[in-house]
Structure 1
Amino acid sequence: MAGRIREEDVEAVKERAAIEDVVRDHVTLTRAGTGRLKGLCPFHDEKTASFTVRPAAGRWHCFGCNEGGDVISFLMKVDHVTFVEAVEALAGRFGVHLQYEEGAAPEPGAHGRRRRLMEAHRVAEEFYHDGLLRLPDARAGRDFLRARGFDSAAAAHFGVGYAPRTGTALVAHLRDKGFTEDDLVLAGLIGRSERGPYDRFRGRLVWPIRDITGATVGFGARRLFDDDRVGAKYLNTAESPIYKKTTVLYGLDLAKKAIATSRRAVVVEGYTDVMAAHLAGVESAVATCGTAFGPDHVGTLRRILRDDSGANPARTVFTFDGDAAGQKAAMRAFEFDQKWASQSYVAVADGGQDPCDLRLSSGDAAVRLLIEGAAPMFEFAVRTTLAAFDLGTAEGRVAGMRAVAPIIAGIRDQALRPEYTRTVAGWIGVEVDQLHRIVAQVGRGPQAVDPRSRRRERDQAPEAEAASTLLPRPDLRDPDVDREHQLLQMLVQYPQSFSDDDAAVLAGTPFTDAAHRRVQHAVLGAWDDRGSVSARGWLETVEAGAGEEVGSLVSELAMAPLQALPDPRTGGPDQRYVADLLTRTREVALSRRIAETTGAMQRAEADDPGRVHTLAVELTGLQSELARLRMGVA
């Protein structure tokens, strides 16, 4: 497994990747003044463009939702990928060779190989879909789709295709496109035998399995003909350098926006269920690919759901067949319920129908109602567990209490535990106190919360934890704070417009607002570097010095247009405006210090008369400094 990407290579990616080109893949940008581009934010609904890009600084910021960052953070947020995945994607696009530390480096040419394998899958997807439309023996596939309520438009939307029965058609097609046999075997598209290479999928309906960015990385294939010698109804691509079935969710490329917007994910069991759910209006539906829902899938969805435990918690709805296998799958999913802050639910249709069958029998509205009426995972788990006991006997009730006690004790929300205890006691037919005592004996009852569980929750929701330590945003309704804000904008965007003397003045002029002071100190701490780094490097240095407590304030300061007219000679802010802001900011700081010193003198007269003289001298000096400043002498 590759280790950490070298910092120099990450910097090279940031330098090489043109942020405006990356953003234009998702946002229509127009000019918005000198060195700025604007468009509608891709992260929240808006009618007036507030999303701004500064290509020279390599930064983006939305003044509507107050999100911002560099080209890597943009790709992470828009494609819901990790930092490493974003860096690797940008490196591949802009031709940066990555090296890794603290682990094995990727094989030579790994990024080029990955691109070849993904391109082979793209070509294969087109080949399969074309085959579904034109091949005579693909009629069985078309009939299969039609019988399940999917027309040609649905097949095109999901990229459904047909693998010819000949067994070598895809081999020949991909060879004609210049792909090598070794690459195709490695990709899992073809196999080898004594008689030569052969298509892995033959005479089957195929669904392209795409990663979160929409790139096809594998296929799922469904048997159509009785004489299919492979036997298994569903056959998936073997794991390859680009396909890991434990991390991929079918339909996620289409569902990610709906999941992020609604903060609800719907996990169904098959490809046709995903299609049916989306066509019925449940556009947040995804499915696992030939494997049970597991911890890697949890991690994938967590990044999109942003599963904090605030007032609007994320929800994950699982649909399962009503049979024993479906119940077993639901209980496996319940095991992961405590691994995220998302609230988990289970939806089981009457008669155990899956979403595809339900849509056929009862229509789109029935699928939507199924999801809306999902029961909490907790309730499903408890009722499934209790079904194994005869609650009509005392022995069955006691055994049932002991079986469900760990489930109740594992509830994260302490406020819900007493309520659930009362509810479950009613289901079993016992006194609440009786069940409460058994739950408490488990060791994690309502009155005995394991502190380690709190730590796990904090570690699993770092965004929510970080948000609690943010400094309050500056109140720009205060004219003094607004003036500081304007001055910081110029310091962040045009540090070369200020002299070392100006920096010395700023060092003795503490700003009024706490968040502003943090950025002020960061600017002064990086002052000596301002002429030796790029605009992007300067911003990153200031941002690092300011720390996470100020949130996206540095990004906002870097992207906001200046209120001052630019100096036509330098392109920076007008120097008279800069001088006036410095003067007024110093006046405010001096006035504040004078007021503080006056108050200290008044308190000292009663508590410490000996200190009054020292404070009086200090006050006289401050008043003289303020007078000279107002006269234009200082």
Structure 2
Amino acid sequence: MTNSEAQDIKSRLDIVEVVSRYVPDLQQSGANWKACCPFHAEKTPSFVVNSSKDLWYCYGACATGGDSLSFIQKMESCSFDRTLDIAAELAGVERQRYSRANHQTNEEHQRLLAINESASIFFQNELKNSDGIKAREYLSTRGISDESISSWELGFAPRDRRQLLDNLRAKGFTEEEIVSAGVAGQYDNGIRVLFSNRVMFPTRDAKGGLIGFGARAMGEETPKYLNTPKTELYEKRNTLYGLSRAIPKIRDQKLDKRKAIVVEGYMDVIASHAVGLEETVASNGTAITSEQMNQLTRYSQRIIFALDADEAGAKAALRGVASIMESKPPGISNTGSSENIQMMIATLPAGEDPDSLIKTNIQQYEQIIDTAKPVLDFLIDSVIDRRFNDSYEKKQAVESVLPYLAWTKDELLRTPALRRLARFADIEPDILRKRLGAIDASTPKIVSGNTKTSQPTQQMQPDGETELLALLLQRSSVRETGISIGENFFEQALNKAVFLAWKNNADIGSGESKGIGHSDIDAASLVVIEDRVSELNNLPCPEYDDKDLSKVVLGMKEEILRRREQARLRTEVLDLAQTKFENRQNGTDDSSDINQQWDSIMQKIRMKSRK
């Protein structure tokens, strides 16, 4: 880090924009901007910002000031190097690292980005040629104009996977680099491109770097959506589709009108941007994460969730709210004025998503966005509108709102909501306020599919049951054989739960986590299962012919059982070895029974190993 680097980053910042991220009530006053100081409690504004001079100053108790960088450092309570990281992200620039190790890492990073850029150009060209006719027809039926196709760099991955490999090799990229970029996977017989016969959606990070792809099937192929696997560049949970294009529009909005709209899919974003709603980004599925929301609240503190008008969409919206609550704890203003984050829910008509409604009635969609409800109003309305079978159901519904109410520290919002909920529950407001106090004191954990307090995502186990389950979800033609395996085959609890949900619902495995709802699954477990299904649908699986699939699945099952039996026998060997060792330590002869057991187990292990 050099002084010139700091000056370059600072020159790209607008101090009013930086401060407003942390102090949303900043108001213009002549040539300056004023607000109550974020560093001490006061009622009369004494905090002043001057945009032309890049200065802030507190004329009150602090009696101190500085520039945009010093403000970020003071608010974040971090090192100057970390300050530059935050400032560079806000400015939309890449930091320059000057050590030899960093220089090498940066070169490798740039090579991976270049591979994705080259692959994107290849996909775009393929869309234009004769092989891309069906893809062009599909995009046309979805109402995507030629202008949008070009602007969003949409492409087509041909059936012949070797074409892209040959193209990238000819440009001088190694197989190791191609795999590292996430364009291809490493298999026993070599590397193979991951995408075939799909419409391609390039995905860029906040700075505009092409980090990965989303691939959409055009027919009944499964999974419907396939994403780049986790790489050095790309991780789905950290990525928002359209963010790099949305940031300028968000920043161009007036401070008191600034908003970001979160939708579900690629088509929703493209349709939104086409009609001028360029502050729209997509979560790439229903599993909204705290990492995604932490990114987005750097640019806007008013987040509107406009997700599909179905149960999965509503749950996704509340997951997004929960994600913000996790990443922006209440009462900690120096991490981004989390008390002032406004979370809104836009309720779409039944059967509609943003893409479909924009195309049929843009005025109605814009009105729905403009009249989105604060999350507390949405939650309380949902509770009041429900029918309850008994008082216990009603009590649970009321309690489900309390964590969100506890997170809201602004009494102008909190008190009316509390009174309204108390009236519905037919209890005194003070009783609810006491319950809130208990929740506040215990720092509630909000249930969502991506929290550290939720059941952790289980990693793939050596016995391969996760790979087998992924294959069942992705290939509907093997469903009958898969069901015959039975849930008791799965040792991992989460895999067993997913298998049962899949067994009870033939729609699961389409590449999306919709339609998983089942009367025997509670809401908290449902969120975790949905996220696991999404994860399994994106797990690369070898491509087998349908006629061979049943044999492959049963073969995988037998191999897993064989390995499990081997592991069990090895455990028995270790136990017997310990017994033999203890006998020798004690001067006791090994009994013939122990020796016979030893010989029998070793023979079984040898037999299992030969299979």
TM-score, normalising length: structure 1 = 0.53
Alignment counterpart, residue 370 of structure 1, candidates 368, 371, 379:
368
Query: 1:316-327 alignment to 2 at 5 Å?
Result: 316-327=303-314
Match of 1:518 in 2: none
Match of 1:422 in 2: 419
Contact 1:163 1:203 in 2 (8 A): yes
Contact 1:201 1:221 in 2 (8 A): yes
Match of 2:134 in 1: 140
Instruction: Measure the CA separation in 2 of the matches of 1:399 and 1:117.
Output: 50
**1:252 equivalent in alignment to 2:256:** no
**1:269 equivalent in alignment to 2:269:** no
Match of 1:163 in 2: 157
Instruction: Measure the CA separation in 2 of the matches of 1:372 and 1:386.
Output: 23
Match of 1:329 in 2: 316
Structure 1 stretch 339-348 or stretch 270-279: which is displaced more?
339-348
Cα shift readout 1:182-216 (whole Å, capped 9, x = no counterpart): 10100101123344332211110011100111111
Task: For residue 261 of structure 1, report the CA deviation from its aligned partner.
Answer: 3.0
Query: 1:42-81 alignment to 2 at 5 Å?
Result: 63=52
Query: 1:82-161 alignment to 2 at 5 Å?
Result: 82-83=86-87, 92=96, 97-98=98-99, 109-133=104-128, 135-161=129-155
Task: For residue 294 of structure 1, report the CA deviation from its aligned partner.
Answer: 1.7
Match of 2:27 in 1: none
Task: For residue 411 of structure 1, report the CA deviation from its aligned partner.
Answer: 2.3
Instruction: Measure the CA separation in 1 of the matches of 2:9 and 2:396.
Output: 64
Are residues 163 and 395 of structure 1, via their aligned partners in 2, closer, same or farther at CA, if it must alter by over 3 Å?
Answer: closer
Q: Which amino acid aligns with 1:371?
A: I
Instruction: Measure the CA separation in 2 of the matches of 1:410 and 1:387.
Output: 23
Contact 1:270 1:288 in 2 (8 A): yes
Q: Which amino acid aligns with 2:147?
A: A
Are residues 394 and 197 of structure 1, via their aligned partners in 2, closer, same or farther at CA, if it must alter by over 3 Å?
Answer: closer
Instruction: Measure the CA separation in 2 of the matches of 1:236 and 1:425.
Output: 46
Contact 2:290 2:320 in 1 (8 A): no
Q: Which amino acid aligns with 2:377?
A: E
Match of 2:598 in 1: none
Query: 1:195-234 alignment to 2 at 5 Å?
Result: 195-226=189-220, 228=221, 231-234=222-225
Match of 2:292 in 1: 297
Instruction: Measure the CA separation in 2 of the matches of 1:258 and 1:128.
Output: 28
Task: For residue 349 of structure 1, report the CA deviation from its aligned partner.
Answer: 1.1
Query: 1:622-633 alignment to 2 at 5 Å?
Result: none
* SS at 1:266 equivalent: strand
Task: For residue 298 of structure 1, report the CA deviation from its aligned partner.
Answer: 2.2
Contact 1:258 1:283 in 2 (8 A): yes
Alignment counterpart, residue 410 of structure 1, candidates 404, 407, 411:
407
Contact 1:334 1:381 in 2 (8 A): no
Contact 2:206 2:244 in 1 (8 A): yes
Tell me, which stretches of 5 or more residues in structure 2 are unaligned? 14-49, 57-66, 73-79, 329-337, 445-611
Instruction: Measure the CA separation in 2 of the matches of 1:298 and 1:346.
Output: 15
* SS at 2:298 equivalent: helix
Task: For residue 232 of structure 1, report the CA deviation from its aligned partner.
Answer: 0.5
* SS at 2:249 equivalent: helix
Match of 1:343 in 2: 342
Alignment counterpart, residue 227 of structure 2, candidates 227, 233, 236:
236
Match of 2:282 in 1: 287
Match of 2:354 in 1: 355
Are residues 290 and 111 of structure 1, via their aligned partners in 2, closer, same or farther at CA, if it must alter by over 3 Å?
Answer: farther
Q: Which amino acid aligns with 1:82?
A: I
Cα shift readout 1:414-441 (whole Å, capped 9, x = no counterpart): 1222211333345x3x54xx15133123
Q: Which amino acid aligns with 2:104?
A: G
Cα shift readout 1:7-37 (whole Å, capped 9, x = no counterpart): xx4458559x7999x89xxxxxxxxxxxxxx
Match of 1:58 in 2: none
Task: For residue 360 of structure 1, report the CA deviation from its aligned partner.
Answer: 2.5
Are residues 126 and 81 of structure 1, via their aligned partners in 2, closer, same or farther at CA, if it must alter by over 3 Å?
Answer: farther
Tell me, which stretches of 5 or more residues in structure 1 are unaligned? 1-8, 24-60, 100-104, 306-313, 454-634
Instruction: Measure the CA separation in 2 of the matches of 1:266 and 1:86.
Output: 19
Match of 1:438 in 2: 431
Contact 2:115 2:168 in 1 (8 A): yes
Instruction: Measure the CA separation in 2 of the matches of 1:141 and 1:122.
Output: 20
Match of 1:191 in 2: 185
Instruction: Measure the CA separation in 1 of the matches of 2:162 and 2:408.
Output: 54
* SS at 2:304 equivalent: strand
Cα shift readout 1:97-155 (whole Å, capped 9, x = no counterpart): 337xxxxx76x82111001001111111111112212x223122212221222111011
Are residues 295 and 435 of structure 1, via their aligned partners in 2, closer, same or farther at CA, if it must alter by over 3 Å?
Answer: farther
Task: For residue 320 of structure 1, report the CA deviation from its aligned partner.
Answer: 1.9
* SS at 1:246 equivalent: helix
Q: Which amino acid aligns with 1:288?
A: S
Larger radius of gyration: 1
Task: For residue 181 of structure 1, report the CA deviation from its aligned partner.
Answer: 1.0
Instruction: Measure the CA separation in 2 of the matches of 1:14 and 1:204.
Output: 44
Contact 1:322 1:351 in 2 (8 A): yes
Instruction: Measure the CA separation in 2 of the matches of 1:85 and 1:406.
Output: 31
Instruction: Measure the CA separation in 2 of the matches of 1:224 and 1:85.
Output: 36
Identical aligned residues as a percent: 28
Cα shift readout 1:587-619 (whole Å, capped 9, x = no counterpart): xxxxxxxxxxxxxxxxxxxxxxxxxxxxxxxxx
Q: Which amino acid aligns with 2:237?
A: T
Are residues 19 and 379 of structure 1, via their aligned partners in 2, closer, same or farther at CA, if it must alter by over 3 Å?
Answer: closer
Cα shift readout 1:76-113 (whole Å, capped 9, x = no counterpart): 9xxx9625769996565xxx5337xxxxx76x821110
* SS at 2:215 equivalent: strand
Q: Which amino acid aligns with 1:98?
A: S
Are residues 452 and 425 of structure 1, via their aligned partners in 2, closer, same or farther at CA, if it must alter by over 3 Å?
Answer: closer
Q: Which amino acid aligns with 2:348?
A: A
